[in-house]
A and B are shown apart, each in its own frame.
Chain A
Amino acid sequence: MFWMYLLKRLGFAVLVLFVLSLFVFALFYIAPGDPARAIAGDKATAEVLAQIRQNLGLDEPITVQYGRFISNLLHGDLGFSYRSQLPVTEIIADRIPVTVSLVFGAVILWLAIGLPIGIASARHPGSFRDRAGQAFAVVGISFPTFVLGMMSLYLLYFIPTRAGVALFPASGFVPLAESPAQWAWHLMLPWLTLALVSAAIYARLSRAQMLEVLGEDYIRTARAKGLSERRVVYRHALRSAMPPLVTQLGTDIGLMLGGVIVVETVFGLPGMGRLAVTSVADQDRPVIIGVVLIGGLFVVVVNMIVDGLYALMDSRIRTAG
Chain B
Amino acid sequence: MSTLSTKRVPNRTAPTLHPATRTMSVVQRGSTSLTMRRLARDPASIAAAVGILLIIVLALAAPLIAQLTGHGPNEQFRDIGLSPEGLPIAPGATFLLGTDQLGRDVLVRLAFGARISLVVGVAASLAAALVGVLVGITAGYFGGRVDTVLSRVMDLVMSIPFLLAAIALVSVAGPSIALSTAVIVFFTWAPLGRVIRGQTLALRRREFVEAARSLGAGPLSIIGRDILPNLMVPILIYTTLMVPGAIVFEATLSFLGMGVVPPTASWGGMLAEAANNSIYLVAPWLVLIPGMALLIATLAFNTLGDGLRDALDPRATRKA
Q: Which residues of A does B touch, CB under 8 Å?
A: 12, 15-16, 19-20, 23-24, 27-28, 31, 33, 125, 138-139, 141-147, 150-151, 153-154, 158, 208, 211-212, 215, 251, 254, 257-258, 261-262, 265-266, 276-277, 279-281, 283, 285, 288-289, 291-292, 295-296, 298-300, 303
Contact = CB atoms under 8 A, between A and B. Distances in A.
B299 interface: yes
Nearest to A162: B281
B295 to A, nearest CB: 6
A60 to B, nearest CB: 21
B183 to A, nearest CB: 12
A251 B187 CA distance: 13
A24 B168 contact: yes
A82 B172 CA distance: 15
Contact of A147 (B244, B281, B287): B287
Nearest to B162: A258
A27 B164 CA distance: 13
Contacts of A138: 299, 302-303, 306
A262 B164 contact: no
A141 to B, nearest CB: 6
B160 A16 contact: yes
B68 interface: no
Nearest to A138: B302
A207 to B, nearest CB: 8
B274 interface: yes
B255 interface: yes
Which secondary structure dominates where chain B touches chain A? helix
9 contacts: A19-B156, A27-B172, A141-B302, A142-B299, A147-B294, A150-B274, A150-B275, A254-B158, A292-B161
Nearest to A197: B248
Interface string B266-289: 001001001100001100100110
A19 B274 CA distance: 37
Given A151-B287, A261-B256, A144 B161 contact: no
A191 B257 CA distance: 23
A295 B161 contact: yes
Interface majority SS on A: helix, strand, loop or mixed? helix
Most buried by B among A251, A261, A266: A261
A125 B291 contact: no
B165 A280 contact: no
Contacts of A295: 161, 164
A208 B317 CA distance: 11
B159 A299 contact: yes
B298 interface: yes
Nearest to A299: B161
Nearest to B316: A208
A16 B161 CA distance: 11
B21 interface: no
B84 to A, nearest CB: 22
Given A144-B291, A147-B294, A151-B291, 20 more contacts: A12-B152, A20-B160, A27-B168, A125-B320, A138-B303, A142-B295, A145-B252, A146-B255, A150-B291, A251-B158, A254-B158, A254-B160, A261-B163, A262-B255, A265-B275, A280-B168, A292-B164, A292-B165, A295-B164, A299-B160
B163 A257 contact: yes
A145 B163 CA distance: 13
Nearest to A17: B159
Interface in B157-193: 158-165, 167-173
Contact of B171 (A143, A208, A283): A283
Contacts of B248: 144
A27 B303 CA distance: 38
Contacts of A257: 161, 163-164
A154 B280 CA distance: 8
B129 interface: no
B302 A254 contact: no
Given A150-B280, A280-B170, A280-B171, A144 B257 contact: no
Contacts of A258: 161-164, 252
Interface in B122-170: 152, 155-156, 158-165, 167-170
B205 interface: no
A167 to B, nearest CB: 15
Name the 9 nearest CB pairs between A and B, nearest first. A258-B163, A142-B298, A147-B291, A280-B171, A142-B299, A257-B161, A31-B172, A295-B164, A144-B248
Contact of B164 (A212, A251, A291): A291
B123 to A, nearest CB: 19
A184 B38 CA distance: 48
Contact of A154 (B160, B169, B284): B284
